[in-house]
Amino acid sequence: MGIRFIGHKKKLVSDIVSIIDSTVEDGTQVGDFFTGTGSVAASLKNAGYSVVANDLLTHCCISARAQLRNPPQPEFEMLLEQVPAVQDAGNQFIQRSGYTQVLSYLNQLDGVEGFIYSTYSPGGTSNREEPRQYFTDENAKAIDACRQRIHRWHDQNYLSDDEHALLLYDLIRATNEVANTAGTYGAYLKSWYERAKEPLELTPAELPEGPLEHEIQQRDANELARETSLSAVYLDPPYTKRQYASYYHLPETIAKKENPSVSGKTGLPNWESKSSDYCHKRRASGQLDDLLSALDAEYVFLSYSDEGHITPDELNEILSEHGEVELHTFDHRRYKSNTEADSGDLTEALYVVQSTS
């Protein structure tokens, strides 16, 4: 169970990390400056690397922190000690641990008519000409209950920052499974998708083995590059016009403690402050060139697609200005929503740039 993310590298991650592993020295600290769902960062952790994971979006930083800074079997000792009701809840999972005990407790909470219910469910928006139906009433209340409780525990210091991130990561993954959408949160479906009718259920994440000393940043990648010196950096910038801040506004809201003002038919928050120039055809190549100029790294690994704003010829021209270029290509299934027809393969490329300066 995971988030269907535009441009995600889940199916390519082993190839990407294998190339990084064959290029840089063991134990190298690797930057992942557009971490997204954190799949590459998690695999780098599993391979023994320390990672500097960065993204402009809060829920992406939450996903990276959850996977990088928690051990495979977190125990939640402080929470279990401070809140006996969690320990007393029935455990629904075969593998019993402090982690599964906490998830079982959250799954048993009574629903709450909170922000998600009042903004994104039919019952909460029944006064609108067209009620919003991102979630059933029951699932919206369950999301509210879990979200409020997780944030409250963190405010009460019953959860560390890393444990807080892990529970939010689990809630965001569970929410994705019951969302009445075509794959992103840009709009809801007019009729109910069958899986959206299933009850919300948080399940344990598969957390990678590896070191726990990782750095999480929430910065503009070009700005971070000007202040960071690393031996190797992996880059996976946006490459189409679709803005992640608007397409994934609901995971972003769940990850934060405050509730945004929303507007329009779909209840979209103001996302423009998190828009990316990489999503604009006329600005993307300049942004990439600026990023490469700012980076202080011996190796840069750049993922890009043949359907991106920057053409392969343009990429080669830009990258060649910054070092020696080696190209690896992979056939990959194009991202499509649940309602789109099969749109075939695309070519994903991994460019390895070795600095000559």
Q: How confident is the model at residue 246 (pLDDT cuts 50, 70, 90)?
A: confident
β-bridge pairing 324-333 and 345-354: antiparallel
Q: What is the maximum span of the chain, computed from C-alpha positions, in angstroms?
A: 63
Higher pLDDT, 254 or 339: 254
Residue ranges of domains in the chain: 74-206
Counting Cα atoms < 13 Å in the Cβ hemisphere of 5 gives: 28
- Summarize the confidence of residues 228-252 as an average pLDDT: 91
| pTM of the predicted model as reported, rounded to 2 decimal places | 0.93
Residue type, 234: Y
Q: Tell me the pLDDT tens digit for each residue of 1-34.
A: 455 555 556 678 999 999 999 999 988 999 999 9
- Alpha-carbon distance 100 to 92, whole Å? 8
pLDDT recorded at residue 167 = 98
Q: Tell me the pLDDT tens digit for each residue of 273-317.
A: 888 888 888 899 999 999 999 999 999 999 998 888 899 999 999
Residue type, 34: F
pLDDT recorded at residue 333 = 60
| Cβ neighbour number for residue 189 with a 10 Å cutoff | 15
Q: Which of 149, 307, 181, 296 is nearest to 247 (CA)?
A: 181
